């Protein structure tokens, strides 16, 4: 079992990965259960709660850090991934309370702490957001 909190430095209310699901080579999957109690729903938007797209991207970045740590055998070794780029971001549909985000991706580059990931957030089989994320992974 992978301990997400042992990998990511984030804590409530900014820990946006609930569970690690799988790792297969460069491909990974994590989950985020979007509940009615998320603090951002208080103001975004009170009459029609929608998860902000930037937080969907943040959840993907956190999932990428988990996927990279598992792939590299660095579980239990906290590190920090600093997001350095978001390319080709597309948002396909709203993420609302009750959705379960499947945070998936493929690590396309990891060299000397530099990482690029093709990332997708899905609800069921439907893609809700996608982007290529770049970050610097530091210890």
pLDDT at 137 over 80: no
In 1-139, beta strands by DSSP E:
19-24, 27-33, 80-91, 100-111, 114-123, 126-138
Beta-strand pair 19-24/80-91: unpaired
Q: What is the mean pLDDT of the chain?
A: 94
What number is the average pLDDT over the span 86-105? 98
pLDDT attached to residue 2 = 93
Which tokens hold the place of 98? 């009750």
pLDDT attached to residue 41 = 95
pLDDT at 139 over 70: no
Q: Which residues are catalytic?
A: 44
pLDDT attached to residue 78 = 64
Please state the φ and ψ torsions of residue 101, each to the nearest 5 degrees.
Answer: -85, 125
Rounded Cα–Cα distance for residues 23 and 26 (Å): 7
Peptide bond into 13 cis (omega under 30): yes
């Amino acid at each position: 079992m992978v301990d997400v909190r042992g990998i990511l430095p984030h804590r409530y209310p900014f820990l946006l990965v609930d569970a690690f699901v799988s790792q297969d080579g460069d491909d990974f999957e994590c989950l985020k259960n979007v509940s009615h109690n998320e603090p951002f729903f208080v103001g975004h938007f009170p009459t029609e709660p929608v998860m902000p797209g930037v937080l969907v991207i943040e959840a993907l970045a956190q999932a990428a850090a988990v996927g990279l740590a598992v792939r590299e055998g660095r579980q239990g070794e906290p590190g920090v991934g600093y997001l350095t780029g978001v390319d080709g971001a597309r948002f396909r549909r709203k993420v609302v309370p009750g959705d379960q985000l499947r945070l998936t991706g493929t690590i396309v580059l990891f060299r000397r702490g530099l990482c690029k990931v093709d990332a997708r957030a899905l609800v069921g089989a439907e893609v809700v957001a996608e982007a290529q994320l770049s970050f610097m992974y530091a210890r």
